[in-house]
Amino acid sequence: MKILTISDTVERRLYNLSFKEDFNDIDLILSCGDLPFYYLEFLVTMLNVPLFFVFGNHHTGAMLTAHGGSVKSPGGCVNIDDRIVAHKGLLIGGFEGCMRYNYGPRQYSDFEMWWKVQRIKLQLWKNKLFHKRYIDILITHAPPFGIHDQPDLCHRGFKSFRTFIEQYHPRYFIHGHIHRYGLQKDWKTQHQKTTIINTCGHRIIEIE
């Protein structure tokens, strides 16, 4: 299965009318946050495949439509914050937001993120029982602590994500939030059994 992963920046290579021809073998889109609704709706309409997403720390309020209505979520897309969904045999979960730095919405302390993780524990154990594994892919906005993160509070990773990786061994942990200026920063890191990917912009992963 070919998966398009996106976050943080609207990419010209994707946001144009020949996008469909260039990406016609994509089976699923995963968005790790901080992208405008129109962009997600464009991609999901053009490819006609499911799009699972989590919110980042930006775009926190409702957006206005041309007719003055408000939309709180991108149309045709599925928010998977705090839950695990199954798609073509893949178990995919998500956690929104980033580390609390100015008390804005969708910001969490490490303890609060730990608590969000506790809320899907039952589902993780059910997966282990019935599917012989906890989860295949976890999407988040923020990175794990010490991997692709930065020292300032806003861009610091969650320790609870690191514990998650070490306890539940997802095959992929995909995050955004960390903009890569130049090519100096790592975007792909192996930690134990998990490949951690900073998808800022876009990436394509292939998974059986």
- DSSP class of 156: P
Least separation, in Å, of the C-beta of 46 and Zn ion? 25
Order the strands of the 201-206 sheet from edge to edge: 78-79, 51-53, 28-31, 2-7, 201-206
Report the residue number, 34 or 81, with the smaller CB distance to Zn ion: 34
Report the residue number, 89 or 151, with the smaller CB distance to Zn ion: 151
Beta bridge pairs of residue 5 = 30, 203
Report the residue number, 47 or 174, with the smaller CB distance to Zn ion: 174
Site residues (vs Zn ion, CB under 5 A):
34, 56-57, 177
Beta bridge pairs of residue 53 = 31, 79
Least separation, in Å, of the C-beta of 97 and Zn ion? 9
Beta bridge pairs of residue 108 = 99
Least separation, in Å, of the C-beta of 8 and Zn ion? 6
- For residue 79, give both structure tokens: 């928010």
Give Dmax (Cα) for the chain.
Answer: 50
Report the residue number, 87 or 156, with the smaller CB distance to Zn ion: 156
How many Cβ atoms sit within 10 Å of the Cβ of residue 201? 18
Least separation, in Å, of the C-beta of 157 and Zn ion? 12
Residue nearest to Zn ion (CB): 177
